Amino acid sequence: MAHSLNPKYYSPEWLAEDSTRKAPHQDIDITRERKNCILKYYGDVDQRREVNVEYSNFSLCMEDFCNVDAMRDRSILDPLRWWAVHGASAPILQALAFKLLGQPSSSSCCERNWSTYKFIHSATRNKITPQRAEDLVFVHTNLRLLARMKDSYKEGPSQMWDLGGDQFDSLDESNLGRLEFEDLSVDEPSLEGVLFDNVHEGEDVDDDDLDVDDHDV
C-alpha cells in the first residue's frame, strides 16, 4: 500500500529508468495487495468506493492531481511532503499516506529481540530448546512492559533492568554511555522481585500464567 501511495513510482522519470518498470496501478500483484489492504482498513463499502475514486484520481493524474506542479513534483519532493502539498483533494487517501509513508524503516525491533535472546541462549544454556527460549524471551519482554507501567519506573532498579534488556531503547544524551555498562541479564532475582511485587494488588502471579518454571526465569 505504501508503494502504491508513493508518487515517485508514477513519474515518467522513474518509469523511464528501466523498461520493465510499471506504475503500481498497472502491476497485478501490487494491485491485489492494495485491494486487500483497503478492504482491511475500510469496512464500509461506501467509504471503500470513495477511497478507490481518490486513488484513481491520484494514479491517473485526474482532477486536482493534474496540476502541473503536482505532476512535476512527483519525482522531486519527498512522498510525505508531496501528499502534504498536493493531497488535499483526496482527504481519506492523504490521511492513509501520512500514516504509511511517515513510518521510518528500522531494524530496531529485531535488534531488541536479539539483544534479549542473547541473555536467554547463553553458553551455559546452549541445550535449551527453541520453544523454551522463545517462551523466556516473551516473559522477559513482558516483565519490562510491566516495569514501564509502574510509577517508580523512572527511579530505581526497574529502569536499570529495562535499559539492560534493551540497548536500543534510548539514545538521548542522558543515557549515552550508560547503555554500554548496564548489561543486566535475566539472572537478576532481586530486580525481578521488584517487578512481581504488587503487579495487581491482591493477585498472585504463578508459574501457570507464565508457562515457565521458576529456575528458568
Confidence of residue 156 (pLDDT cuts 50, 70, 90): low
Q: How many domains would you assign to the chain?
A: 2
Cell numbers standing for residue 61: 493524474
Average pLDDT, the chain: 76
The answer to whether position 24 is within a domain reads yes
Q: Please determine, for residue 132, whether its predicted confidence score (pLDDT) is greater than 50.
A: yes
Q: Containing domain of residue 173, as a range?
A: 108-210
The more confident residue out of 57 and 140 is 57
pLDDT > 70: what percent of the chain? 70
With bands split at pLDDT 50, 70 and 90, how would you rate the model's confidence at 90? very high
Whole-model pTM above 0.75?
no
User: Among the residues of the chain, which ranges form H helices?
Assistant: 12-16, 28-41, 45-59, 68-72, 79-86, 91-101, 108-120, 130-149, 157-165, 189-196, 207-210
Could you give the C-alpha distances from 166 to 43, 107, 112, 178, in angstroms and in order? 38, 13, 6, 12
CA nearest to 47, candidates 97, 55, 101: 55
pLDDT value at position 154?
63
What distances in angstroms separate CA 120 from CA 132, 140, 164, one per listed residue?
9, 9, 13
Of 77, 101, 125, the domain-final residue: 101
Residue 171 has pLDDT above 70, yes or no: no
Query: Has residue 1 been placed in a domain?
Result: no
**pLDDT band at residue 192 under the 50/70/90 scheme:** very low
